[in-house]
């Protein structure tokens, strides 16, 4: 089973994925590392200071990697702010724009990059794209939770999916988190 862990930069994807790997034994593929390792990009966006991902080649490389190295029935988590373009099932990590801004400032992002990401979170950009591209979408509010708690919630979601109990996950369905009122004051 292939599940994406996605969200705006700063919502906790990488930290939580590390916990999901060490505490729960999930295999994690960091899509951004894969893009760099296998040069699965078609240039650099100098304005945004990032690589331009080649989604078609990423998908093919990811499938090849999974086919070669995955045991039958194993759950593989693809961690990236782009994983919703690759997987059919995705868990979107969310954080309030105010908290997200503080997290991104600690990373020394440029003011423009911070504003772009905060605005994307406030406008549900990754959630909307996930709903558009994926069959199953869940969201987790990471704003005031410790990474270990977030990992517990994600593990709960994954177990419910694997056991065919997605109906028990209504509290994680898209639409439960809305930052628009706070952002547009």
Report the pLDDT value the prediction gives residue 171, as an integer from 0 to 100: 94
Q: Note the pLDDT of residue 173.
A: 96
pLDDT at 181: 76
Which pLDDT score is estimated for 62? 74
Q: How confident is the model at residue 137, as a pLDDT?
A: 98
pLDDT given for residue 148 in this prediction: 98
Give the Cα separation of 86 and 18 in Å (integer): 20
Query: How much is the pLDDT for 161?
Result: 96
The predicted pLDDT at position 185 comes to 61
Domains delineated in the chain: 2-178 (3.40.50.300)
> What are the residue ranges in the chain where pLDDT is below 70?
35, 40-54, 68-70, 182-185
pLDDT at 40: 66
In this structure, what are the phi and psi dihedrals at residue 178, rounded to the nearest 5 degrees? -145, 115
The annotation places the binding site for ATP at 10, 12-15, 107
Please name which of 11, 61, 18 lies closest in space to residue 36, comparing C-alpha atoms.
61
Nearest to 35 by CA among 1, 85, 71: 85
Residue 138: φ, ψ to 5°: -130, 155
pLDDT of res. 82: 85
First vs last C-alpha separation in the chain: 41
pLDDT at 6: 98
Residue with tokens 């028990």: 168
Predicted structure pTM score: 0.87
């Amino acid at each position: 089973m292939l599940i994406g862990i996605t969200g705006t930069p700063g919502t906790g994807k990488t930290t939580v994925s590390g916990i999901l790997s060490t505490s729960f034994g999930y295999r994690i593929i960091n899509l951004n590392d894969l893009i760099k390792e296998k040069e699965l990009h078609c240039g650099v966006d100098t304005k945004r200071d990032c690589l331009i991902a080649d989604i078609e080649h990423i998908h093919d490389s990811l499938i090849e990697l999974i086919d070669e190295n995955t045991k039958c029935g194993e759950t593989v988590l693809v961690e990236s702010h782009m994983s919703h373009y690759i997987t059919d099932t995705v868990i979107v990590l969310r954080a309030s724009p105010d908290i997200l801004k503080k997290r991104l400032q600690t990373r020394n992002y440029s003011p423009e990059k911070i504003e772009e990401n905060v605005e994307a979170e406030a406008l549900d950009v990754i959630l909307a794209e996930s709903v558009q591209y994926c069959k199953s979408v869940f969201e987790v509010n990471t704003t005031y939770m410790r990474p270990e708690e977030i990992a517990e919630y994600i593990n709960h979601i994954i177990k419910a999916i694997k056991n065919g109990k997605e109906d028990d996950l209504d509290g994680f369905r898209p639409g439960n988190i809305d930052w628009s009122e706070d952002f547009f004051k």
